Amino acid sequence: MNCEHCRQLISALVDEELTEGERGSLDEHLAQCSECAQYSEQIRELERLTSEWESSAMPRDIEQAILDRAKQKPHGWLGRVGGGSYRIPRPVAWAAVLLLALLSVNSLISRNGSTQEEQFITTPENNQPVQHIILTQADIVQTYTTGSAPADL
């Protein structure tokens, strides 16, 4: 057994993941290689030090926030503790986009064939509602895109 292989086995030994055969050849090597024996001591000391880092329980406010939301919202969630982003359920977002699309088509037709852009330029007093629709649509589309970011799964 070479030293590299021996050191891999030392790590596995610390993890209690060695077979009996491997354990035998590891002991054999350690008995005759002082450098690996020293390495073994260092890794054990490292393990002892590492495991001194105590575990943390979930803070009560996070726990409560998750449970409250599960209770309030049997289907779908809105928001989270700590000021994170709001999630709009996918079907709701699509419905809103569709509705607003229909509304703007409707408003286009009712303006006797003139487009929104022309209205916007030629009659500034009519800006508000048109602009409002455009902005709202953009907002909803934006919210939808952020709200359903890929899960990376």
Partner 1 sequence: MAVNVKTEDRPPIVETSSNHQQFTELFHLYKDRTYDFALRMLGDAHAAGDVAQDVFIRLYEHQSNHHHIEDVKSWLFIVTRNLCLNHMRNRGRQVPLDALDDQLAQTNPAVDPRQRALRRALATLESPYREALILKVYQGFAYIEIAEILGTTVPAVRAILFKARNQLRDELNRTQAKGDSYEL
Angle between helices 20-32 and 3-14 (to 10 degrees): 120
Residue closer to partner 1, measured from CB, 32 or 55? 55
Residue 33 interacting entry, from partner 1, Zn ion, none, C-beta within 5 to 8 Å by type: Zn ion
Among 3, 78, 92, 138, binds Zn ion (CB under 5 A): 3
C-alpha gyration radius of the chain: 32
Q: CB neighbours (10 Å) of residue 101?
A: 12
Give the whole-angstrom CA distance, residue 28 versus residue 98: 73
The nearest distance, CB 32 to Zn ion, in angstroms, is: 8
Contacting residues toward partner 1, per CB under 8 A: 7-8, 11-12, 14-15, 17, 42-43, 45-47, 49-59, 62-63, 65-67, 69-71, 74-77, 80-82, 84, 151-153
The amino acid present at 120, given as its one-letter code, is F
Instruction: Provide the strand spans (E) within 40-133.
Output: none
Q: Which of 147, 1, 139 shows the shortest CA–CA distance to 86?
A: 147
Give the whole-angstrom CA distance, residue 17 versus residue 10: 10
The nearest distance, CB 64 to partner 1, in angstroms, is: 11
Residue 68 interacting entry, from partner 1, Zn ion, none, C-beta within 5 to 8 Å by type: none
Residue closer to Zn ion, measured from CB, 3 or 103? 3
Give the whole-angstrom CA distance, residue 77 versus residue 71: 10
Residue closer to Zn ion, measured from CB, 37 or 108? 37
Among 18, 33, 81, 88, binds Zn ion (CB under 5 A): 33
Residue 3 interacting entry, from Zn ion, partner 1, none, C-beta within 5 to 8 Å by type: Zn ion
Task: Tell me the number of residues near Zn ion by CB under 5 A.
Answer: 4
